[in-house]
Amino acid sequence: MDNILENIRTIRESKGYSQESISEMLNMTQASYARFERGATKTDLSVVRKVAVLFNMSLVDLISYPKKLIDPDLIESNMQVQKEVKATLTIEMGKEKKDQVFRFLFEDNNIEILNK
Protein backbone atom coordinates (compact mmCIF):
# COMPACT_ATOMS: atom_id res chain seq x y z
CA MET A 1 0.00 0.00 0.00
CA ASP A 2 2.98 2.29 0.55
CA ASN A 3 3.58 2.61 -3.22
CA ILE A 4 -0.01 3.72 -3.76
CA LEU A 5 0.30 6.39 -1.08
CA GLU A 6 3.63 7.53 -2.52
CA ASN A 7 1.97 7.71 -5.94
CA ILE A 8 -0.89 9.77 -4.52
CA ARG A 9 1.52 12.26 -2.94
CA THR A 10 3.66 12.47 -6.11
CA ILE A 11 0.66 12.99 -8.38
CA ARG A 12 -0.93 15.51 -6.00
CA GLU A 13 2.26 17.55 -5.89
CA SER A 14 2.78 17.33 -9.68
CA LYS A 15 -0.76 18.68 -10.22
CA GLY A 16 -0.10 21.52 -7.77
CA TYR A 17 -2.72 20.44 -5.25
CA SER A 18 -2.17 21.05 -1.55
CA GLN A 19 -3.23 18.51 1.04
CA GLU A 20 -5.79 21.06 2.18
CA SER A 21 -7.38 21.43 -1.27
CA ILE A 22 -7.60 17.65 -1.74
CA SER A 23 -9.03 17.19 1.75
CA GLU A 24 -11.76 19.75 0.98
CA MET A 25 -12.66 17.92 -2.24
CA LEU A 26 -12.85 14.66 -0.29
CA ASN A 27 -14.90 16.30 2.47
CA MET A 28 -12.39 15.46 5.20
CA THR A 29 -10.09 17.48 7.42
CA GLN A 30 -6.58 18.32 6.27
CA ALA A 31 -5.18 16.44 9.28
CA SER A 32 -7.16 13.30 8.36
CA TYR A 33 -5.98 13.53 4.76
CA ALA A 34 -2.36 14.00 5.87
CA ARG A 35 -2.59 10.87 8.05
CA PHE A 36 -4.14 8.98 5.12
CA GLU A 37 -1.41 10.08 2.70
CA ARG A 38 1.35 9.18 5.21
CA GLY A 39 -0.22 5.80 5.85
CA ALA A 40 -0.56 6.65 9.55
CA THR A 41 -4.15 5.40 9.56
CA LYS A 42 -5.82 2.42 7.97
CA THR A 43 -6.21 3.13 4.28
CA ASP A 44 -9.79 2.97 3.10
CA LEU A 45 -10.04 1.84 -0.52
CA SER A 46 -13.06 4.08 -1.09
CA VAL A 47 -10.86 7.12 -0.36
CA VAL A 48 -8.23 5.84 -2.81
CA ARG A 49 -10.95 5.49 -5.48
CA LYS A 50 -12.15 9.06 -4.83
CA VAL A 51 -8.58 10.35 -5.13
CA ALA A 52 -8.20 8.53 -8.47
CA VAL A 53 -11.38 10.25 -9.72
CA LEU A 54 -10.07 13.64 -8.57
CA PHE A 55 -6.87 13.00 -10.51
CA ASN A 56 -8.89 11.84 -13.56
CA MET A 57 -7.19 8.47 -13.36
CA SER A 58 -8.30 4.90 -13.06
CA LEU A 59 -7.58 3.06 -9.85
CA VAL A 60 -5.31 0.76 -11.86
CA ASP A 61 -3.24 3.69 -13.16
CA LEU A 62 -3.01 5.20 -9.70
CA ILE A 63 -1.58 1.92 -8.43
CA SER A 64 0.78 1.42 -11.40
CA TYR A 65 1.88 5.08 -11.64
CA PRO A 66 3.81 6.37 -13.57
CA LYS A 67 2.86 3.62 -16.01
CA LYS A 68 -0.51 4.30 -17.68
CA LEU A 69 -2.62 1.28 -18.47
CA ILE A 70 -5.98 2.96 -19.13
CA ASP A 71 -6.59 5.95 -21.42
CA PRO A 72 -7.96 8.89 -19.33
CA ASP A 73 -10.29 9.86 -22.20
CA LEU A 74 -12.00 6.49 -21.80
CA ILE A 75 -12.53 7.16 -18.10
CA GLU A 76 -14.14 10.53 -18.83
CA SER A 77 -16.37 9.17 -21.60
CA ASN A 78 -17.39 6.19 -19.44
CA MET A 79 -18.36 8.55 -16.64
CA GLN A 80 -20.55 10.55 -19.00
CA VAL A 81 -22.18 7.67 -20.88
CA GLN A 82 -22.94 4.65 -18.77
CA LYS A 83 -23.51 1.59 -20.91
CA GLU A 84 -24.79 -1.74 -19.72
CA VAL A 85 -21.95 -4.20 -19.54
CA LYS A 86 -22.45 -7.92 -19.27
CA ALA A 87 -19.61 -10.17 -18.29
CA THR A 88 -19.04 -13.70 -17.13
CA LEU A 89 -16.45 -14.35 -14.48
CA THR A 90 -15.49 -17.73 -13.10
CA ILE A 91 -13.61 -17.81 -9.82
CA GLU A 92 -12.70 -20.95 -7.95
CA MET A 93 -12.05 -20.08 -4.33
CA GLY A 94 -13.73 -20.13 -0.96
CA LYS A 95 -16.97 -18.17 -0.62
CA GLU A 96 -15.46 -15.65 1.83
CA LYS A 97 -12.56 -14.80 -0.48
CA LYS A 98 -14.85 -14.64 -3.52
CA ASP A 99 -17.15 -12.18 -1.74
CA GLN A 100 -14.12 -10.02 -0.85
CA VAL A 101 -12.96 -10.00 -4.48
CA PHE A 102 -16.41 -9.00 -5.74
CA ARG A 103 -16.70 -6.20 -3.19
CA PHE A 104 -13.25 -4.93 -4.21
CA LEU A 105 -14.01 -5.04 -7.93
CA PHE A 106 -17.61 -3.90 -8.00
CA GLU A 107 -17.95 -1.76 -4.84
CA ASP A 108 -21.57 -1.56 -3.73
CA ASN A 109 -23.10 -2.02 -7.17
CA ASN A 110 -25.79 -4.68 -7.50
CA ILE A 111 -24.18 -7.90 -8.57
CA GLU A 112 -25.91 -11.09 -9.49
CA ILE A 113 -23.60 -13.98 -8.81
CA LEU A 114 -24.37 -17.27 -10.47
CA ASN A 115 -22.79 -20.27 -8.78
CA LYS A 116 -22.64 -23.19 -11.14
Q: Which pLDDT tens digit goes with each residue over 90-113?
A: 657 777 776 777 677 666 555 555
Complete domains list, the chain, with CATH: 2-80 (1.10.260.40)
CB 33 within 8 A of CB 47: no
| DSSP per-residue codes, 47-95 | HHHHHHHHTT--HHHHHHTTS--S-HHHHHHHHHS-----------S-H
97 secondary structure, DSSP code: H
Q: Who wins on pLDDT, 115 or 44?
A: 44
User: What is residue 21's predicted lDDT score, i.e. its pLDDT?
Assistant: 94
C-alpha 75/C-alpha 47 separation (Å) is 18
CB 101 within 8 A of CB 91: yes
Q: What percent of the chain has pLDDT over 90?
A: 34
Range 68-92 average pLDDT = 61
